[in-house]
Amino acid sequence: MTRKLSALISLRNLGPTIVRRLAEVGVHTKRDLQRFGAVVIYRHIRAARPGCTVPLCYYLYSLQGALNRHRP
């Protein structure tokens, strides 16, 4: 995992899978998360994976949680 991705993994609610999905849509830092917002990023992830049956709605909650708090 790159240094930028490891910075995202330190945020609450973000695990390795969602961090990889974020990288796929060009989100690499907390600043990227803040700039685009949870809803826009969620929509990009959904658009990038139209056939995905995993409940991606959980990503929306995870993204918002990451923006709201850091892990201790």
Q: What confidence tens digit (pLDDT) does each residue in 21-44 have?
A: 999 999 999 899 999 999 999 889
pLDDT of residue 12: 83
The Cα 30–Cα 4 span in angstroms is 9
- Looking at residue 31, what is its pLDDT? 92
State which amino acid sits at residue 22.
L
- CB contact at 8 A, 18 and 5: no
Is 8:19 a contact under the CB 8 Å cutoff?
Answer: yes
Other C-beta atoms closer than 10 Å to the C-beta of 4 total 13
Average pLDDT over residues 13-22: 90
**Considering the entire predicted model, what is its pTM?**
0.78
